[in-house]
Amino acid sequence: MKVLANDGLDQSGIDSLTEKGFEVITKKVSQDSLVDYINEHKIRTLLVRSATQVRKDIIDHCPSLEIIGRGGVGMDNIDVDYAREKGIHVINTPSASSESVAELVFAHLFSGARFLQDSNRKIPLVGDVEFAKLKKSYAAGIELRGKTIGIIGMGRIGQEVARIALGLGMRVVAADNNVGRASIKVKFYNNQFINVDIETEPLQQVLKHSDFITLHVPAQKEGYMIGEPEFEIMKDGVAIINCSRGGVIDESALIKALDSEKVRFAGLDVFINEPTPSKEVLNHSKISLTPHTGASTLEAQDRIGLSLAEQISSILQIH
């Protein structure tokens, strides 16, 4: 019962599977050697995160494979329908990382609103005189409280973002494929709950009325969701965060909008050409960047590991 966790697996998942008699291999096998390795070791379960591509070649040439597991949400690196047609179970961990991604959105928002990403780069490089100048230029920060946040994609992560935003005293507007009302249950640390109804609105309205925009849709097949025409609709001085997928925003249009001050700042956890952002993105003083670490908290990794282990044991009926 061999499991190859090719992009790593949290100790929680390794322990849970090992206890049930699985052999978990965490060696990183290169994309080119994967078919041979799986066949040679008779791997029944292949676990990946976002790095390993599980395309037709692997699905067609690895008859021992029974389960393909994605530690995460987006399965754009797996030919899901094709694998399922071939009788392979394809699993992921949809709810395990929502809170972590939502918290990263606010890390980017606070960073941009108070110039943290720029001051972290510059302070180590300046002397006393420049320090005073920097201090002056950073004296134009803004608060989040009382501002409107536009959430595009009101699924699991979008709703977590809404909960935090409501707690911060922000107004929440949202757009989603599913038009209607999302009822958000907000839990406080003293275990009290309040219910808040949020109506979804057409995308154009959300773009028009938001001070901050955050994207939580899957990879889009129909090109950029946010490009030049969408930036034009937005308020002057808007900020935008993308913790969904690179390619949802047109990065050239974003750079232009930042340079013209249409957009105050951007926060990107994902970008086109991962893992190497373009020079323009990498060096822009108004972009706060993280290397696709939305789900990479200790807590989310622990939940992802356990969720995968539970699903594998349930499919293979090993308890």
Ligand X SMILES: O=C(O)C(=O)CO
| 89 is annotated as an active-site residue | no
Cβ neighbours of 278 (radius 10 Å): 14
Q: From CA 202, how far away is CA 205, in angstroms rounded?
A: 6
Cis preceding-peptide flag for 275 (omega within 30 of 0): yes
By CB under 6 A, residue 246 contacts ligand X: no
Q: What's the closest the beta carbon of residue 8 comes to ligand X, in angstroms?
A: 11
Q: From CA 286, how far away is CA 228, in angstroms rounded?
A: 18
By CB under 6 A, residue 264 contacts ligand X: no
Rank residues 111 and 296 by Cβ distance to ligand X and give the closer one. Answer: 296
| 292 is annotated as an active-site residue | yes
| 245 is annotated as an active-site residue | yes
Q: Which residues contact 155 (CB under 8 A, 6 or more apart)?
A: 176, 216
Interactions with ligand X, residue window 90-109 (CB under 6 A)? 97
Q: From CA 94, how far away is CA 74, in angstroms rounded?
A: 8
By CB under 6 A, residue 154 contacts ligand NDP: yes
99 binds, among ligand X, ligand NDP, none (CB under 5 to 8 A by kind): none
By CB under 6 A, residue 8 contacts ligand X: no
Using CB atoms within 10 A of its CB, is residue 76 exposed (0-12), middle (13-18) or buried (19+)? Answer: middle
From the candidates 245, 264, 284, 303, which is the catalytic residue?
A: 245
Q: What's the closest the beta carbon of residue 249 comes to ligand X, in angstroms?
A: 15
In the set 16, 111, 244, 313, which binds ligand NDP (CB under 6 A)? 244
By CB under 6 A, residue 295 contacts ligand X: yes
111 binds, among ligand X, ligand NDP, none (CB under 5 to 8 A by kind): none
By CB under 6 A, residue 74 contacts ligand X: yes
94 binds, among ligand X, ligand NDP, none (CB under 5 to 8 A by kind): ligand NDP
DSSP 3-state assignment of 91? strand
- Contacting range for ligand NDP; rule: CB under 6 A; set: 54-62, 146-154, 258-266, 275-283: 146-154
Asked if residue 298 lies in contact with residue 7, where contact means CB atoms within 8 angstroms, the answer is no
By CB under 6 A, residue 218 contacts ligand NDP: yes
Q: Which residue in 273, 269, 238 sits closest to 101, CA to CA? A: 269
Interactions with ligand X, residue window 12-71 (CB under 6 A)? 49-50
Q: From CA 65, how far away is CA 63, in angstroms rounded?
A: 5
Q: What's the closest the beta carbon of residue 154 comes to ligand X, in angstroms?
A: 17
Q: What's the closest the beta carbon of residue 107 comes to ligand NDP, in angstroms?
A: 12
Q: How many CA atoms lie within 13 A of 199 on its CB side?
A: 4
In the set 73, 107, 182, 248, which binds ligand X (CB under 6 A)? 73
Q: Which residue in 245, 239, 250 sits closest to 217, CA to CA? A: 245
By CB under 6 A, residue 292 contacts ligand NDP: yes
Alpha helices in 174-318 (DSSP H): 203-209, 228-233, 251-259, 279-283, 298-316
By CB under 6 A, residue 78 contacts ligand NDP: no
Using CB atoms within 10 A of its CB, is residue 33 exposed (0-12), middle (13-18) or buried (19+)? Answer: exposed
Q: Which residues contact 168 (CB under 8 A, 6 or more apart)?
A: 106, 144, 145
* Residues forming the site for ligand X (CB under 6 A): 49-50, 72-74, 97, 294-295
* Residues forming the site for ligand NDP (CB under 6 A): 72-74, 94, 97-98, 101, 152-158, 175-178, 216-220, 225, 243-245, 269-270, 292, 294-295
- Give the catalytic positions in this structure: 245, 274, 292
